[in-house]
A and B are shown apart, each in its own frame.
Chain A
Amino acid sequence: MEVSPGEIMVAQAAREIRDRERVFVGMRLPLIAFVVAKRTHAPRAVGLFELGIVRDEPAPELLYTMGDTPNVSGAVWCARTIDLMGLLQRGEVEAGFIGGAEIDAHGNLNTTAVGGDRSRPKVQLPGSGGGADIASLAQRLIVIMPHDKRRLRERVDFITSPGYLAGGDARRRAGLPRGGPSVLITTLGVFRFPDGEAVLVSYHPGQSVGSVRAATGWELRVADDVRETEPPSADVLRVIRGYDPEGFWTRRAE
């Protein structure tokens, strides 16, 4: 079976989790990245789910939502949302995952609404959920989203989840205590934010700097040592396909 963009993204996202870290997980691809990290290089990572669940072992079966009953069985703590968000605010969570409908080059994300008028949106999106809190308060933010020109935009219509805002020290000036995006993983490549602005560090197998540039709505900055994204190993693919055999999350058309 050919490796899907979803699987490449999951493998890269898993590499972003370090052993022993406390990670705000989220659903879809990040959940599977957490499973991969736990079963490979980060066996002692701990997963937090914003509705109030802490697990040191991923749920044994595929989840559709974080409130599914298998996500509670075997949890080490069932708490309230405010308890986990409070620990996040204290700075006790190293990394958090979020996705978004739109992102700009400073890593600001929109999941609220497309169109300039919030009360009459062109496309009404679901909203922040815990995304804006994770983006505000986690030590590092890992962003995962599909890549196209309408999504990677010069400016987003609404900043739901703050990235580096206008760049420079804008985050600190706004009063945010820490954090900011450390990586953006898309269906085409991987960006890092060395000075608060996205720089392409790798393109996925089958892509190129040119194809990424053509699908990006801002003027692309490229790392000097840009290269191809490391594809998932056979071991990692086995974990992904064992967990999501139907490809519900890793092979869906976005």
Chain B
Amino acid sequence: MLIGSGCVRSVSAAWVGNVSAGLAHCYRRAMEEGVPRRITVRDHSNFSIAQALLAGAIGAPYIPTRSLLGSDIPRANGTFREAESPFDGSRVLLIPAIVPDVAVLAVQRADEDGNAHLWGPWGVSQEAALAAKKVIVLADEVVPREEITSDPNRTICPAWKVAAVCEVPGACHPSPLQGRYGRDHEFFHEYHRRTRTAEGFDDWVGEWVTGTRDHDEYLAKLGRRWEELREDGVPSVPAAY
């Protein structure tokens, strides 16, 4: 959507697409036709982007890997270096750190200082949060400090990284948030069908992005569809600290 709206100059990513639906039409138009504008891309794999963020998170200049040797990704990316390990002489690829200006993290709950609990698969969320200069937390729910301190192993990053905590129920829709709501598959498929053309994309944005005043209105527009996605999940056995 950001690409389709002309808000992106450059993408560093392992994968850009519409997972269960197919290729990302806006990304294709930008790369193939320069519509609405040309963008540049730095190719990564899931491991290399995770390692780049991990290097950023721990303040290291790079992380060596054995992945991607022989792939065209290093050449296309342009920032990796091939090297020999000084310890065993083996061939390695050095992945330089990525230090984002901002990471946006959607979580189940956070206190008002930004201590945030996230559960479900963490993907690269933690590395991204720790590597970033600042973090914006979108909390499904803002909770008292005691809820966070009752289970500190679930905290994904410390409050001092967090520049803003926004209470935004349903922030991930149409993606899921574990224990809160499921994935709206049909929303992804609908988006895919409607954004096949640039005009279709503009029309879609007009309806769902600029056509709604805020996120509450967006959820209200979803109506029953949103209610049906709600999940309670299964509570875990509490850990006693």
- Interface residues of A, Cβ cutoff 8 Å to B: 27, 49-53, 64-65, 67-69, 72-73, 78-82, 85, 88-89, 112-113, 118-133, 135-137, 158-162, 165, 170-171, 174-177
Contact = CB atoms under 8 A, between A and B. Distances in A.
Interface in B39-86: 40-41, 43-48, 50-51, 54, 65-73, 76
Contacts of B23: 124-126
A137 to B, nearest CB: 6
Given A127-B14, A130-B46, A175-B92, A160 B127 contact: no
Contacts, number: 176
Interface residues of B, number: 57
A248 to B, nearest CB: 8
B69 A176 contact: yes
Interface in B1-55: 13-17, 19-20, 23-24, 27-28, 31-32, 40-41, 43-48, 50-51, 54
B183 A69 contact: yes
9 contacts: A27-B19, A80-B50, A80-B127, A112-B73, A118-B43, A119-B40, A123-B32, A133-B46, A174-B91
A251 to B, nearest CB: 15
Contacts of A161: 71
Chain A contact surface mostly: loop
A120 B30 CA distance: 9
Q: Is the interface of B mostly helix, strand, loop or mixed?
A: loop
Contacts of B67: 85, 89, 132-133, 136-137
Contacts of A159: 70-72
A110 B178 CA distance: 33
Contacts of A80: 50, 121-127
A73 B46 contact: no
B205 to A, nearest CB: 20
Which of A126, A130, A160, A170 gathers the greatest number of chain B CB atoms within 10 Å? A126
Contact of A65 (B27, B183, B231): B183
A124 B28 contact: yes
Contact of B90 (A78, A119, A170, A175): A175
A67 B124 CA distance: 13
Contacts of A171: 70
Interface of B: 13-17, 19-20, 23-24, 27-28, 31-32, 40-41, 43-48, 50-51, 54, 65-73, 76, 90-92, 119-127, 175-176, 178-179, 182-183, 185, 188, 231, 233-234
A126 B72 CA distance: 15
Given A51-B121, A130-B46, A158-B76, A67 B176 contact: yes
A174 B54 contact: no
A78 B31 CA distance: 35
B71 A175 contact: no
Given A73-B233, A73-B234, 11 more contacts: A53-B121, A69-B182, A78-B120, A80-B122, A80-B124, A81-B123, A85-B67, A133-B68, A159-B72, A162-B68, A177-B66
Nearest to B119: A78
Given A125-B23, A126-B15, A174-B70, A81 B124 contact: yes
A51 B178 CA distance: 14
A82 to B, nearest CB: 4
Given A51-B123, A133-B45, A82 B70 contact: no
Contacts of A170: 70
Contacts of B15: 126-129
Contact of B178 (A69, A118, A125, A175): A69
A65 B19 contact: yes
B122 A128 contact: no
A132 B126 CA distance: 22
